[in-house]
Structure 1
């Protein structure tokens, strides 16, 4: 069995309170929940990123444990890959929660830049999605739990990164970046809504 090299995890925090949202733009969440993502890097040191999402899914059997998306350990990942990916997801969350369209656009652009950094760092290697599940923080181990929305999000993130890699130096760069952006947006919507969107 292949070990997990890059693990992106999401921790559902039950009702930490509500982020106030000004009345207006439809893209702003009326009352988002807070979910924290933990990066498990090569040294096993977790890094926490908390984001606003539309729906929380508690892990009944492992209270306080994070959901996990992994990338297969079949390539040499750049040192900043995990950070770039999770920062991209975090910026997508900030964009979705922003009431001001101009602020939302800045966060969204920052997210694509983060993903582009992750894609560029891969070089000609491909980041393939691994199993999804839960990271048991008490025992420091990954436990498979095939949540369809989580698996779909992991696949979309990997697909988006692959499209960005193809865009570098391509005549069709704009179209490829647009397609990659759609994949990342879909991944975040699946994480936020806990539902599979694409086929």
Structure 2
């Protein structure tokens, strides 16, 4: 109810037009505009800097790292894990344009698992990751209820991924979390 009220009480928008107002940087003490980004290229650069940290100049990984032995043996994805991952997906979450929506996986799990299971297991067995699965689309949304959308911090990114890889990622996440819990390598205060 609180979230619905937040959206309903917000000012009317531009009806979903795909534009971001001119972004402004203001002086912290007097609030005057010190820089503005008006073109799409400038806005993209400002938002990129707002959303993503700069690339590290030097890797934090030591030159000759010594890793402990594996805590568990990597297994292929079982049909039960695929079913559990599909049931946990949010059915109407936005997906990459032209890809399988989540509701197909959540509503047709029993029909799809016999076909998806062998595909996912072959990916593990062959140690193959399809090239197109890494593709995603990052879009910018306004944070609701912000007073000034000319501020780059009043926006947030979301990543749209394709359906088949998203289900595979969910399966791998379930496997990793379950194995990490069994191995006792997660801190007591770890959640999420």
| TM-score category, normalised to shorter length | under 0.3
Bigger Rg, which one: 2
Higher RCO by CA contacts (8 Å cutoff, separation 6 or greater): 2
Q: Give the TM-score taking structure 2 as reference length.
A: 0.23
Structure with greater strand share of residues = 1
Q: Give the TM-score taking structure 1 as reference length.
A: 0.22
